[in-house]
Amino acid sequence: MSAELNQNYDPKEVESKWYKAWEKKGSFEGNVQNGKDSFTIMIPPPNVTGILHMGHVLDNTLQDIFIRRARVEGKSSLWFPGTDHASIATQHKVEKALRDEGTSRYELGREKFLERAWEWSDEHGGIIFNQLRKLGASCDWRRSRFTMDAAYQRSVQASFVEFYNRGYIYRGKRLVNWCPASQTALSNEEVEMRPQRGKLYKMRYEIVEEPGRFIEISTTRPETIMGDTGVAVHPDDERYADLVGKHCWRPFPRAEIPVVADRSVEKEFGTGVLKVTPAHDQVDFDIGKRHDLPLIDVMNPDGTLNELAGEEFDGMERFKARKFAVQKLEELGLLIDAEDYDNNVGFSERGGVPIEPRLSEQWYLKYPKVEEAKRAVEKGIIRFHPKRWEKVYLHWLNNIQDWCISRQLWWGQRIPVWYKKGADRSDSANWHVSVNGPSDPENWEQDEDVLDTWASSNLWPFATFGWPSEDPKVKAELDYFYPTSMLVTGFDIIFFWVARMIMSGLELMGEPKEGLTDEEIAQRIPFKDIFIHGLIRDAKGRKMSKSLGNSPDPLDLIAKFGADGLRFGIINIAPSGSDILFAEERIEIGRNFCTKLWNACRFRQMAGGTAEAQSLEAIIDRLAGSQLEGYGNWILFRLLQTMEEIEGQFARFEMHQLTHSLHNFFWGDFCDWYVEAAKAMLQSKDDPRHDAALAVSDLVIRHSLLLLHPIMPHITEELWQAMGYSVDGEFVQDAGLLPAAQLRELLNAKSVSIDAEGARQIELIKELITQARATKAEYNVASKRDVTLFVTPTDDSCATVIEANLDTIKRLAGAATIELVETVENLPGSVSALGTVYLDLSSAVDVEAEKERLSKELEKLTKAIQAGEGKLNNPSFVDKAPPQVVEGARKQLLETRARRDEIARLLKSL
RNA sequence: GCGCGGGUAGCUCAGUUGGUUAGAGCAACUGGUUUACACCCAGUAGGUCGGGGGUUCGAGUCCCUCCUCGCGCACCA
């Protein structure tokens, strides 16, 4: 033992001490190590100015668990960190600061604005990294990348050029999702449909050719009347058949607009007549195209109306204009009705305002390798965990439309396209597309726009390594670490990020090629496994948000429970469903478990012995050849079982079972049973079981620390060192965790064989003890440790087992003496498989209470027996069920009968 | 409208390919300082597994149907 443990575990001191030590020694550095397997995770880059929230805690704890597990398994692990520039979000923040100063980005100009944005990101950036360090995240910080790093920007631009050259990028003029708040185009994914209570207005337009006749129209958006260039009805709608080809009067600005017939009109909706505003609605745009209707854009980029809307509307905000248009309709006597109406309106996620379909020229990406992206998942080359997210992914891929990737923002990677000065920009003959720009820059001007943030983060798994550089180091690292092992993220960004990374990888991580084989897919994909976790909500299921004040600061929680406590706690409650209900009390288990671990180790230290524990072999040598007594055999059996469980959980990505297995084993088995039993063996150094008990404890604690290390890295490191398990100051991660099967072999090789039958006997002993304790509790002598117990063993072999474990039974049940006898009269007893255990009472037995208790038990058993008999008397069960199931049922029935008879006998004897 | 995921103890959730008397943590209750730990120990109570139907020797688990909650996608102006 090298260092004596304090009475209390102090996470604060311990955590920072070891984190520094790890960093200093480069423990997190992931390097190419030929001959070793690599294990790589790219962090989902948080926003550069973001601060740690509970979602990050979950996401990063999970990643750290996978990474650290891979390290203890001896893989060359790399957890690659970085941040995202979050174009629109960051620009918003900077613009808000500017507004507070009474200025704007337009006043400042692009260059000055970008300086401010860089200042902002330098100032706020990196905060989250320090917070992640406090959590214990073992990222290779040397490598940290930012999506606005010069090199990364070049990668992004290179991808644009590459996509362009391969024919995936084009420029198009069409209706886009326009955010009037941010004044930029958005992709479809950035539009969130929100239910809105509005009004459906019914109004009438007069027929030009038949004055006095009106056509009734329903609309939710009267403010776009000024942009109407037609009215549409369904071609089969008899009500209006005679009007098709005629015209009606648009009320303001007053103009003749045609009535057209178009199949996209629903006859059943409203009056069956649709006003057509091609510049402000997608459906209308399509109708307009088919019928050659003119486009009148009546809105400015900021959502106010322009001069084309007429003098009265010019400059008016769009929702004001809606009211005003209604008022005007009313004045003109054209408004028939306005009824309440619920519909869904697209909102800009970031801007928080309704989007405006707006005609503009933008850059589009036709998604590459869509078929391969689907096939990768369908064929299991990429696997989602849990699997059901596959469907979400495939459904999206089956319905995708081209991606609008240009943004009318300044903070981001500028689009690498230059236009010949003074020439027609819509003619591609006047374009120059390259990373470095034209050789005669004075004759060109660069596209003003930047790329969608996700059009840069989709390169994250390879641009971070330096793609497309030809540098041999870059190639070697990509060769070694790519495809990365897995991705850990929330389901909310499957479309935004996960799917797009897959398609980009498939297209760019190899030569241009139509159609990929499965082998090529396997080489090009960015990751093999995708672990999708839920989103953290508060205890009532509400989203965590600053305004609700229900979002705890993880640093406060770390202060309260320790980083390890928080990590254990969050994983323990996490992977339940798609929502994780967070309540601080639920984290307590993590802190409590840390304390338990600490005290178990303290106890081991107090038990003494300067035994050799620096290596697994040394500990096993201490056991070599010794015949393990029952509990030792049992706890090692359980250790191997637990190790196998955990191996399976990692293999199947069942993280929700991890903490349960470990908690159950270490607390429920080791502390509650083995340590308590071992106390009997540790009383005297002369006890032949003494040294073995210490060795078994060391073996169990050592492995528990190894198994727990990925979840609770700091405390396990502290204990590892303090317990003297470390060789030459090496860390837990250097020790190497053997698979259960190899550990078993190693034990076998030293003639330490773990025996399942022996373990089962201890389970029976535990049952007997539990029964004895329950009886004592029933008679309010639970805390008395000097009672006498009588046991009537079921048979001779049971008697032998009990005899062999007498001293531990005494200790664990709290009895001064235990006598094995033939029969007992007039004492309360409880039945167990090994025998019936009776409590010797000096006072009289409460016969009535005892009768009640036994009758209840009897009833339960009788029911079980009826069920069992029914089953076994049923010929079809005996014939059809597998023999081992029938055999099991038979055995079960016998045992239950014996137990019932014993209870009945007890009852009678009272 | 289409799709996905839930509904199991007071709460939060486990429950592998159908197979003993359905489990855990927390909360509750009772009693407790024993060679570490009250952030602890021992014990008790609490469930007709959302309803109905079906398949089967056997269903929390598979199928159908309904109710209910949550989420995603689409969307009629």
What is the end-to-end Cα distance of chain A in Å, rounded?
55
**SS3 of residue A756 by DSSP:** helix
CA distance A572 to A591: 12
Nearest to residue A649, comparing CAs of A380, A385, A378? A385
The closest nt to A667, taking CA to C1', is: B37
Q: Sign of the C-alpha dihedral, residues A824, A827, A833, A835?
A: negative
A391 CA vs B66 C1’ separation (Å): 26
A171 pLDDT higher than 60: yes
Q: Let me know the angle formed at the C-alpha of A724 by A719 and A729, rounded to the nearest 5 degrees.
A: 90
The two structure tokens encoding residue A67:
């990474």
The closest nt to A535, taking CA to C1', is: B71
Indicate yes or no: strand B within 7 A of the C-beta of A20: no
The model's confidence at residue A841, banded by pLDDT at 50, 70 and 90, is: confident
> What are the counts of helices (DSSP H) followed by strands (DSSP E) for chain A?
33, 29
Scan residues 707-766 of chain A and list those with Cβ within 7 Å of strand B: none
Nearest to residue A704, comparing CAs of A624, A618, A646, A631? A646
CA distance A390 to A526: 16
The model's confidence at residue A541, banded by pLDDT at 50, 70 and 90, is: confident
Indicate yes or no: strand B within 7 A of the C-beta of A610: no
A51 CA vs B72 C1’ separation (Å): 27
Indicate yes or no: strand B within 7 A of the C-beta of A269: yes
Q: Which residues contact A639 (CB under 8 A, 6 or more apart)?
A: A665, A699, A700, A703
Scan residues 54-113 of chain A and list those with Cβ within 7 Å of strand B: none
pLDDT, tens only, A450-506: 999 999 999 999 999 999 999 999 999 999 999 999 999 999 999 999 999 999 999
Mean of pLDDT over chain A: 92
pLDDT of residue A1: 45
pLDDT of residue A430: 96
Q: Where are the beta strands (DSSP E) in A668-821?
A: 787-793, 815-820
Give the DSSP letter of residue A830. Answer: E
3-state SS string over A492-547? Answer: HHHHHHHHHHHHHHHHHCCCCCCCCCHHHHHHHCCEEEEEEECEEEECCCCECCCC
pLDDT, tens only, A688-726: 999 999 999 999 999 999 999 999 999 999 999 999 999
The model's confidence at residue A843, banded by pLDDT at 50, 70 and 90, is: low
pLDDT, tens only, A80-130: 999 999 999 999 999 999 999 999 999 999 999 999 999 999 998 889 999
pLDDT of residue A2: 53
Q: How many CB atoms lie within 10 A of CB A730?
A: 15
A548 CA vs B45 C1’ separation (Å): 38
Helices (H), A534-654: 554-561, 563-573, 588-606, 616-623, 630-651
The closest nt to A870, taking CA to C1', is: B57
Indicate yes or no: strand B within 7 A of the C-beta of A664: yes
Q: In this predicted complex, what is the ipTM?
A: 0.95
Q: Mean of the pLDDT values across residues A424-449? A: 96
Q: What percent of chain A has pLDDT over 90?
A: 79
Q: Let me know the angle formed at the C-alpha of A153 by A149 and A159, rounded to the nearest 5 degrees.
A: 150
pLDDT of residue A577: 63
Indicate yes or no: strand B within 7 A of the C-beta of A671: yes
A895 pLDDT higher than 70: yes
Q: Mean of the pLDDT values across residues A11-22? A: 97
CA distances from A281 to A240, A296, A573 (A): 23, 12, 45
Q: What percent of chain A has pLDDT over 70?
A: 99
pLDDT of residue A313: 96
Indicate yes or no: strand B within 7 A of the C-beta of A265: yes
Q: Considering only A264-268, A572-576, A654-658, A768-772, which range has the smallest mean pLDDT?
A: A572-576
* CA quadruple A625, A628, A629, A632: dihedral, nearest 10: 150
A585 CA vs B9 C1’ separation (Å): 19
pLDDT of residue A631: 95
Q: Which residues contact A875 (CB under 8 A, 6 or more apart)?
A: none
The closest nt to A604, taking CA to C1', is: B36
| Length of chain A, in residues | 910
A384 pLDDT higher than 50: yes
Scan residues 194-253 of chain A and list those with Cβ within 7 Å of strand B: 218-221
Give the DSSP letter of residue A47. Answer: B
A658 pLDDT higher than 50: yes
Which secondary-structure segment (H or E) carries A680?
A: helix A676-682
pTM of the model: 0.94
Nearest to residue A374, comparing CAs of A354, A359, A391? A391
A627 pLDDT higher than 90: no
